Amino acid sequence: MNPSPRVAVMPRGVINAYLFQIFNSSSWSLILGMPMLLFLKSMDASAATLGATVAMTPLFAVLQIPAADYAERVGYKNFVVRGWASRSIFILGIAIVALLPGRVSPNLRIALTLFMMACFAATRGISVCGLMPWITHIIPEPLRGAFIARDVMCTHLALTGTMLLSSVCVGAFPSFHTFAAFFLFSYGSALISLVFLRRIPDIKAVQTEVSPAFPRQKCVRPPWKEMLLFPPFLKYVLFNVGLNFFVSALGVIWVPFMKDGLHASNSLILGLSAYSSIVCALVSRVAGPILDRTGSRPLMAFSSALILISQTGWMLVASGTLPGHIWILLLLVPVAAAGYTILGISCTRLLMGIVPEMGRSHFFAIASVAVSLTMGLMPIIWGFTLDGLNRHLGNGFVLLPGWSWNPYSLFYALIIIGTLASQFLRRRLDEPRAMSTEEFMRIILIQSPIRLVNRVLSPLRIFQFPGG
């Protein structure tokens, strides 16, 4: 009698990865997210400055490539823990800048804040290269979709809490000291996340071996050219770079459009961010099991459609065709949140499945750097572009009755064009075990709508971690 196949199970101690993500997300969401942009905007920072702020972390991700070899020699766990501890110091520095006396000029505050953020981004860029290879070694392949989805859910639950707290505090205490309190809270969360990071299971030393993808290469030094030209990996990188080339503009346009275009308060902006995070958490709870069943490509097609719908809606609001009423925003935000969440989970799972064993950390580093350079350089360009359009177009011009071409509507039109063009690259992605898009849509729309609703509601009944 043949033995029954071994069922993949989550490793013991994986709950620490989820807890780490909760506190880590609570920390970085205040430093790299909306509170930081509002802090800079309150000092009259320009759109170009906001673009540089958004771009800083992705740009410094290029440091992953020289750090990849060192991460494998030192060990992924030790390397990541040391890096996370180092970057936490600069969070404290940002809090000190926010506490400087009122007589300090806004320009000096902005410069010091950007310097601290640059140091934070540099240490993060070095240390993060060991995280994905470490997790990929730990989590069995059949459960990676479920793990990524729950990891994303923990991230967005943390984002929901921090954004709700930020919204209430900014509305009640509108001062620089409020932002200083946010950044001190971020520092405390970073220290707690380190405790759980150290408890995540370690792995054995990475063994050098010959990869079937590169049969003539020994692991003496990474074959960078062959890695980049490895067909499934190259298609993945081209799609992500092509999509994020235009989508990166969203990080620049959001705060100026809400503040100057719709005249929204800081409290409302943070409240919408919290609302978006709630939707992301619920969607990720649903997407994980479906992803392991269907593969990544069908969900990527579905999420791309949601993204295009949301971008079109924002363009209509920016052009004046749709009013910027709160109920319109409450309809648009969850569509975008669902689309980007599903796309992010699907892309991560696809990458984990297509990279060979040999040089895994280098593959992750190349992919991250390629996307990060796009996400880093483009916001700077988009920021200068938005400043220029505001100077020359002002309120824009009316093309048709009820439709105004202004800097914001033009921006969303460009994003839509870029997202549509990237779909040609998405259709070329390789994933041998993926379900067809038609079969996936039949499951979503006909076979299992009730099960999807049950998965959405199940976190309200019980929150259960596997393998704890």
Mean pLDDT computed over 197-222? 60
On whether residue 135 sits in a domain, the answer given is yes
Mean pLDDT computed over 98-112? 85
Q: Bigger pLDDT: 255 or 417?
A: 417
Pair of tokens at residue 7: 């069922």
On whether residue 6 sits in a domain, the answer given is no
Q: What does the alpha-carbon distance between residue 81 and residue 103 come to, in Å, rounded to a whole number?
A: 38
Q: Look at residue 276 and tell me whether its pLDDT is greater than 60.
A: yes
- Mean of the per-residue pLDDT values of the chain: 79
Mean pLDDT computed over 331-348? 89
CATH number at residue 301: 1.20.1250.20
On whether residue 465 sits in a domain, the answer given is no
Q: What does the alpha-carbon distance between residue 39 and residue 60 come to, in Å, rounded to a whole number?
A: 22
Mean pLDDT computed over 86-93? 90
On whether residue 212 sits in a domain, the answer given is no
User: Where in the sequence is the domain holding 80, given as residue range(s)?
Assistant: 15-203+227-459
Q: Is 12 exposed, middle or buried (0-12, 13-18, 19+ CB in 10 A)?
A: exposed
Q: What does the alpha-carbon distance between residue 284 and residue 199 come to, in Å, rounded to a whole number?
A: 24
pLDDT of residue 165: 81
pLDDT of residue 285: 78
From the list 38, 220, 57, 74, the residue with the least C-alpha distance to 123 is 57
Q: Look at residue 60 and tell me whether its pLDDT is greater than 80.
A: yes
pLDDT of residue 191: 93
On whether residue 215 sits in a domain, the answer given is no
pLDDT of residue 220: 46
pLDDT of residue 462: 43
Give Cα 367 distance to the centre of its chain. Answer: 14
From the list 314, 365, 364, the residue with the least C-alpha distance to 340 is 314
pLDDT of residue 1: 43
Q: Bigger pLDDT: 287 or 85?
A: 85
pLDDT of residue 463: 42
- pLDDT tens column, 368-395: 788 878 877 787 787 788 777 777 776 7
Contacts of 265 (CB under 8 A, 6+ apart): 171
Q: Look at residue 53 and tell me whether its pLDDT is greater than 90.
A: no
Q: Look at residue 327 and tell me whether its pLDDT is greater than 60.
A: yes
Q: Look at residue 356 and tell me whether its pLDDT is greater than 80.
A: no
On whether residue 210 sits in a domain, the answer given is no
Taking CA atoms, 343 is separated from 26, 152, 158, 415, 426, in Å, by 22, 12, 20, 16, 11
Q: What percent of the chain has pLDDT over 90?
A: 10
Give Cα 322 distance to the centre of its chain. Answer: 28
Q: Look at residue 187 and tell me whether its pLDDT is greater than 90.
A: yes
pLDDT of residue 268: 82
Query: Residue 318 — very low, low, confident or very high, per pLDDT cuts 50/70/90?
Result: confident
Q: What does the alpha-carbon distance between residue 403 and residue 425 come to, in Å, rounded to a whole number?
A: 32
Mean pLDDT computed over 179-194? 91
Mean pLDDT computed over 6-20? 79
Q: What percent of the chain has pLDDT over 70?
A: 82
* Lowest mean pLDDT segment, chosen from 68-82, 150-164, 432-446: 432-446
Domain count, the chain: 1
What 3-state class would DSSP assign to 271?
A: helix
Q: Look at residue 208 and tell me whether its pLDDT is greater than 50.
A: no
pLDDT of residue 465: 38
Mean pLDDT computed over 151-156? 86
Q: Bigger pLDDT: 276 or 442?
A: 276
Phi-psi region of 359 (alpha: psi -120 to 50; beta: other; left: phi over 0): left
On whether residue 152 sits in a domain, the answer given is yes
Q: Look at residue 310 and tell me whether its pLDDT is greater than 50.
A: yes
On whether residue 220 sits in a domain, the answer given is no
